[in-house]
Amino acid sequence: FVTELAQRAHIDQYAYRRHLLLEDPLAVRVLDAVAQASGWGTTPNVFRGIAYNCYIGRGGRFKTYVAEVVELSRVATRFAVKRVFCAVDPGLVVNPNTLKAQIEGGIGFALTNTLKSRISFSNGGAEQSNFSDYPLLRIDEMPEIVPIVLPSDRPPQGFGEVVLAPVAPALAQALFHATGRRLDVMPFPQDAFRAKD
């Protein structure tokens, strides 16, 4: 939705978000970091989408900032998720390897939700019973994840699932730029990845 507002205002989606968040320097910091790392605006033929999330927990005592850029690649007649850049400010990082694993796992889980997770019901029960009919993202479908952990002098903040929320909107924006099709229902249909020629 924010991207649609940016388009109506004829403003780049990153610049539009940055303007909306100017009163929060930590939010601007993660947006700038992910834009710089992903080369936002420097390669016009690369299809990307950007999204932002701020996790506020424990009555406002915890605040974790995250911004992500999803980048697509074209493989024959289809688009695929090539890379996900993820900038985070989770405060002081106690265990960097665990944080990196949470970023990678969270993005993989979010991509599963965005691309594959569908539950249907019949006679009052779920029709899916196991992984044979409820597919997960496979290792060969996992994109490159580029974590950007920003140094912070704030105390450790919550992290967990904070990286999940930006994946779907960033991917939807990238697909819109690639195909012209808007997506607002998950999981995204497979024909949404078909390249227009």
Kindly report, residue by residue over 111-164, the tens digit of the pLDDT. 999 999 888 899 999 998 888 888 889 999 999 999 999 999 999 988 878 999
| Number of independent structural domains in the chain | 1
Q: How far apart are CA 80 and CA 88, in angstroms?
A: 24
Q: Is the dihedral of CA 34, 175, 10, 54 positive or negative?
A: negative
The answer, yes or no, to whether residue 62 has pLDDT greater than 90, is no
Residue 92 in contact with residue 62, Cβ under 8 Å?
no
Q: What is the CATH number of the domain that holds 25?
A: 3.30.365.10
The structure's pTM equals 0.92
The answer, yes or no, to whether residue 52 has pLDDT greater than 80, is yes
Q: How far apart are CA 112 and CA 91, in angstroms?
A: 28
Residue 120 in contact with residue 128, Cβ under 8 Å?
yes
Q: Which structural domain, as residue segments, surrounds residue 86?
A: 2-119+128-193
